[in-house]
Structure 1
Amino acid sequence: MSETVARETAAHRIHPVTVAPSERQTEAIAQEEEHAAHNYHPLPVVVAEGQGAWVTDIDGRRYLDCLAAYSAVNFGHSNPVLLDAARAQLDRITLTSRAFHNDQLGPFVAELAQLAGKDMVLPMNTGAEAVESAIKVARAWGYRVKGVPDGAANIIVMAGNFHGRTTTIVSFSDDPDARDDFGPYTPGFRTVPYGDAAALAAAVDEDTVAVLVEPIQGEAGIVVPPPDFLPAVRALCDERRILFIADEIQSGLGRTGATFACDLAGVVPDLYLLGKALGGGIVPVSAVVGDRDVLGVLRPGEHGSTFGGNPLAAAVGRAVVALLATGEPQERAELLGRRLHAGLERLIGHGVLAVRGAGLWAGIDIDPDLATGREVCELLMERGVLAKDTHGSTIRLAPPIVVDPADLDWAVEQLEVVLLDLSGR
């Protein structure tokens, strides 16, 4: 990076630690707290604009976004290629419903299927919808293809999973915040320890139709399974005639330094579940991607979505697929990921207990005697870095893939300063 660019980048890094929130920001937070359901506990920052890896609050203070909307903004805020695709489609048509064909859906599903090396795509909107859709597909496949008795199908899931918060999905969650008080729960799921191939094999019976797994568990704290686990899942599914469903909603589309996190383990699932980054941070887009012998079990009228596959979503999704088809985002995430993890690992023993992850995705276990994850994220916010905590004293970093290397280093420096301050208090 040139000296001029370095100076310009450094000028963008501000430390609002000594600046009190304005009345305008306080009012905006109060209004949201008063009228929006309290299903989130956001940091006290009101974002108004975003460009690349940086966001600006309503008082003009800038922050390095190290969450990227849980990987939905992999390609950066206000990505010009994606915005151009959206604007062009906005001037034409945005919604037809699936009652009619539209000129963007066919190319989108063909291009996405090619990227994934599969035959077919079931377009939906949100990640949870993709998961729910895959559950229906797996059950239908079990009854119509495998020959499981009606109503007997079971799906094996992992402890520590996070696949969404719909009523079916929380039925097999072990997170009390997601699950408690939302019963009665949907049957048909068996939970085994994440990364334990022997326990998985022991849970399978003749009525098992699928294994649903995150190649890397995101909400659990960026938990990476043993290197032989996903290959063992693939082998077991082949042996017992079971569908391997990979939830790549957070881990997929460049985040881990590969198109899919499954690529890192050299495995190909029967179904990919995609979302978040597929909409480029502009519109909600999700998809179930698989081969015809699986997705082909669906018949007209059995599943649908008014907005799934809409022309605007398809146009943006096509632009996302085109970016990924070059391989450049994946390569950048892999290279910058090495840089990020090297910086974070130097903090182990200095307020950090462990670092996990792949590519530009890191889970950092903070010493609980020092602070909670929430406290660390609040202090990082005061220094101009936005991150998110999970499960007590773990924080997550997932900056947009377009992040500048020097800015990435700066974010790690801010974490180091926060930990030093905490150690000395």
Structure 2
Amino acid sequence: MINNTASLNTIEKWQYQKILENGAIPDDFLIESQLERWNETHHRKLQDDEKQFILRLSESCPSRYELANLLHKYHLASNSVRAMQKQSSDTMGYLDAKFVVATGFDGTTPRTVIGDTSITTSPTNHAVSCSQDPEQEKARPSQISRSAIVWIPSGASQLIAMTANLISARLIVPIFGDFRVLTRAIAEYFTLTDLLALFQVKDFTVEVGPDSDASGRKMILVNTTPLSEGPETDCLDILEIAMLSFEIGHEVGHIFHGHFYERPWIDAHCFRSNPADSLDYLTKVEINADTAGLNTIWDGLKATTGVPIDISWLGAILPLAAHAGMAALCSSESDDARTTYNNWLQRLHYSLKSMYQTLHGTRTEPWRSIPIIKAAPLLAAALYEFYRVGGDNTLQQSTGGLTGEELYDEFKPLCEDYLGLFDR
């Protein structure tokens, strides 16, 4: 989502003001104070090397009130976007973008729905006017450089954390046991009904042992050296980093694709799948920006963390499915709510299609591509339905939107078409 112009010095000011509005003491939210309360807040002891790593990251942080537990994830996700931008500059012609990531405490930044990320931007080079008619300027003006703040509202970070925990606690730990076999296991052995049933199981017993933290959360490590920088990384962190990489890549994608012009245009070559003419312009802009998010999890995340596409594809599908399900929960409230819901569904649909086209277009090995093609619509529909019916809140039931089964039925023809391409 695109918002109005803002400068980097607004971050600390806005966060400070929001802390005061909530009746809290700003000094309690300083990063050093957060680290002192880490054991109490996160239910585990912060190791010395973890603390020093967070302090090093805080030195380049634009606000002293940033959430300390997110610094490492923002760091890796932002580096994934920058790595993707560097790799894709020749083929995609992305505009230059300098950005920082900040947590937008609830109420700090405008957004269309709870948990929706946004970006504020200002040009740092006015050599070409941002109001120039795109019809007269077919060449993308690379001399424009933009600085930006990517805002991750606390609602968005909570939804990401909740989704990562759901996948970890109800699928990976008790059922699959190994994070790296999740995709293949879903594709080969599980139906939509199976996944929906697993999401409804709330009380899995996880024994506290040498591989668990103080709260009993089992650590499932992915053995990749770059990812071991800083705090020890488990499946929860990896899922969160992948989702943040997609979300941040999407927001910076608005700059990459020139959406900040007074009369912006959409580069047709940036779409892996051409949106239908019937879609409204703003939905097309969001789908267009999603291509940068997809490029981030395909290319940037792999380059930065070593996480393979067998896992990184979750970074795009999980947040889109979660947002769509949450929007369905509110879709009967107003016309605007229904429009928001339809936009999330369209983004999920076209991201699936773009992902499939990438797998086929890059000639990714069938043994790797086919499980992703099969698992993605199943997991997307199951997660969507979980949130659509209110999650674990049995008192909050949705009567709006497609059911998970109806959504999966819409995805199946697309899945079968691309599976057919790998059979040829």
Bigger relative contact order, structure 1 or 2 (CA pairs below 8 A, ≥6 apart): 1
TM-score, normalized by length of structure 2? 0.29
Higher helix share: 2
Higher strand share: 1
TM-score, normalized by length of structure 1? 0.29
